[in-house]
Amino acid sequence: LGDICFTTTTIPKMLVNYISGNKEILYISCLAQAFFFSWFAGLDSILLGSMAYDRYMAICAPLHYTMIMTPRLCVLLVAVCWYWACANALTHTVLLTQLSFCGHKEIPHFFCDLGVVIRIACSDTFINDLVIYTMGGLIAIIPFMGILISYFHIFVAVLKIPSAYGKWKAFSTCGSHLTVVCLFYGTIITVYFNPTSTHTVQQDIASAV
């Protein structure tokens, strides 16, 4: 669901602009797009961390898995993910409303990405940048550290499995998750946590695609 919402935030408007030839977007629509994109991006990040914990429990403590990963805990994890991501996105969006844009501006992107919108502002963006590196950093770094710790323990546990088939079977359950983690966090680090002087808008667009 999170991935579907993530793409539908940007694709419909992009297709309308392409078909109609009208590339304008209203200020309120841009804010809404930035909010929902940030929300679902944050949600993906936290859910990936939760999924890593689920795999850790399944491989490292299989006998206790059903007792610990109860339906109630799963619902609680999902609820926390949605709330945390929403609070993060709402904070960024409210701070966007405090910026001045000096009339009509061209957004050098195919959607209202948070970092790109901040770049075209006429007023001081120090607070916005600070919040991206703090709150945005927490919503990316905390789950990422949880993923690293989980997979470290998974790797140690898998090495103790005597048969090669058993090792392959254990690692195969993590392959798709690891692929998504590498693509997702690689893009986030490239686009949002590098100084703007080290990469161009065109590189950001390519990474976003």
Q: Is 24 exposed, middle or buried (0-12, 13-18, 19+ CB in 10 A)?
A: exposed
Residue 195 pLDDT exceeds 60: no
Q: How do the domains of the chain map onto residue ranges?
A: 2-208
Which stretches of the chain are DSSP H helices?
Answer: 2-8, 11-20, 27-60, 65-68, 71-96, 114-119, 126-159, 164-172, 175-192, 201-208
pLDDT exceeding 90 applies to what percent of the chain? 20
Tell me the average pLDDT of the chain: 82
Sign of the alpha-carbon torsion through 19, 20, 23, 28: negative
Lowest mean pLDDT among 21-25, 49-53, 59-63: 21-25
For residue 208, pLDDT beyond 80: no
Q: Is the dihedral of CA 50, 59, 145, 179 positive or negative?
A: negative
- pLDDT tens per residue across span 116-166: 888 888 888 889 888 888 887 788 889 999 999 999 999 898 888 888 887
> How far apart (Å, rounded) are the C-alpha atoms in residues 58 and 164?
19
Give the pLDDT mean for 93-105: 84
Domain 2-208: what homologous superfamily? Answer: Rhodopsin 7-helix transmembrane proteins (1.20.1070.10)
Distance of CA 136 to CAs 86, 117, 206, Å? 12, 16, 21
Q: For residue 186, what pLDDT is reported?
A: 82
